[in-house]
Amino acid sequence: MIRKRSSGPVSGPSIPRNSRTLRVSLVALGASAAWVACGGGDAPSDETAGAADAPPQFETTEVAEGVYQFRWVGHNALFAVTSEGVFAFDPISVEAATTYAEEIRRVAPGAELAAIVYSHNHADHATGAEVLREAFGADVPIYAHRNADAPLREAADPDLPPPTATFDETMTLAGGEIELHYLGRSHSDDIAVGFLPAHDLAFAVDFVSRDRFGYQDLASFHFPDMFDAIEGLLEIPFETIVFGHGPPGDRAAVERQLTYYRDLDAAVRTAVEAGLSEDETAETVLMEDYRHWDRYDDWRELNVRGMHRKLTAAGVGESEEEGEEEGEHDEGGEEGEGEHGGEGREGRGEHGREGREGRGEHDGNGGEHGGEGGEHGGEGGHAEGEEGEESGVYIGRAETWDETRRGARLILTFDPGRNAFAGTVENTTDETLCAVRVEVHLSSGTELGPTQRTDLAPGTSTTVELAALGEAFERWTAHPEVSPCAG
């Protein structure tokens, strides 16, 4: 009963260009920023399609009677023809939504669009609702989880309007033909899982997929809540599941995904507790059992690195060195972890990347935020090897980053008008800071930068600008990196 229709082969998605000339320009950051290597200022989408042997640009597949997966390049949406009209999840993009509307009309001629549902607020899935509304009616409602509302209002993107109605735990649509479930924080804090009981079919985006690594360094992911969310998904009695990326799966696929994240957590935790650095962990935790999974080559390492950062931020494996800054740890032993709740789920959540307090605790810069502080020159010569500082603390879109690390004071704000992060990095020390560069991580998982390395003479500063590439994000974090001066 599976029917497909495809367009002819087309090149990858059209992508907005960085319109700004960067005074400090972007350079590739190894594997974590493969998109930068595309050159020409091409921006990433959450999933960048390979242009070479690209499959058809879109494909509509009937996954159950009257229920369709609409795939656009690397993203999947789902729409269902119900007794109350068509319910369409995730317009994906302005461009995709145009075709999405045509496909809905083709398979359900004359049907009304009853509602649009956002799986979550990330732009690479939720953009394009206005295009569907232009095709089907300006008053088509948009449903989403409550936590999707504020970031979308704040973003004020006409192509990504906020929901017209939200839910907290569950919502039923079309007289119960469709259920929306909230399973707690996972890939984001606003994932709405769709369930169609008559078809034993679920739709879940970005926190699970079939035999595929998590997105990049898992920056937007919430651990350990992820485990609860996937377990919660398994409590929904689906048999078939459509994912936001990749082919549909079954319950076993979701179980494998859960096992993967547990294995990742366990393997990286062991490495962190053994005192391995992030680089060492990335080199040794190879997740061999998952070598056949999609994205092994480009996201395995990033998943490991991301998990290392999360566990470290949660206080797992605290070292003596950090102990002197924090003053309350012995070394990564059981007690130390207990104190920080490193092993306990609640504890880890508390010490996760959301907490501003966590910053002071972990970087020894506690009182510095927003002030001049007494740090000047204090740490200038302290670097051994490149210092890529990850405080792991995220701030809101409208907040200003102002922090001094290794003598480099970074002041950065997000300018929605230019869709870019702009600011300065200043050498507050009496010595030259070498190879200073800046990175921004968005809560959507995207990394911006780093900027080109620049040497800064004492007291001088340089401007920083990083295009946000049209990504929707709620929170962000930034850090300068300073390297030892050659010779």
For Zn ion, the nearest residue by Cβ is 122
Q: Which is nearer to Zn ion, 177 or 206 (CB)?
A: 206
Give least dist CB 473 to Zn ion, A: 10
**Min CB(257)–Zn ion separation in Å:** 15
Of 122 and 269, the one with the shorter C-beta distance to Zn ion is 122
CB-nearer residue toward Zn ion: 122 or 310 = 122
Enumerate the β-bridge partners of residue 396. 475
Binding site for Zn ion (CB under 5 A): 122, 206
Q: Which is nearer to Zn ion, 148 or 254 (CB)?
A: 148
Closest among 340, 280, 272 to 307, alpha carbons compared: 272
CA angle 154, 158, 163 (to 5 degrees): 65
What's the rounded Cα separation, in Å, for the pair 316 and 338?
A: 9
C-beta closer to Zn ion: residue 128 or 360? 128
Name the minimum Å distance from CB 206 to Zn ion: 4
The residue written with tokens 């409550």 in the block is: 146
Of 71 and 340, nearer to Zn ion (C-beta) is 71
As measured in angstroms, the least distance from the Cβ of 188 to Zn ion is: 6
Specify the residue, 174 or 448, whose C-beta has the smaller distance to Zn ion.
448
- Of 396, 387, 393, nearest to 353 by C-alpha is 393
Q: Tell me the closest approach of the beta carbon of residue 80 to Zn ion, in angstroms.
A: 21
**Smallest separation, CB 256 to Zn ion (Å):** 20
- Minimum separation from the CB atom of position 420 to Zn ion (A): 21
Residue type, 335: E
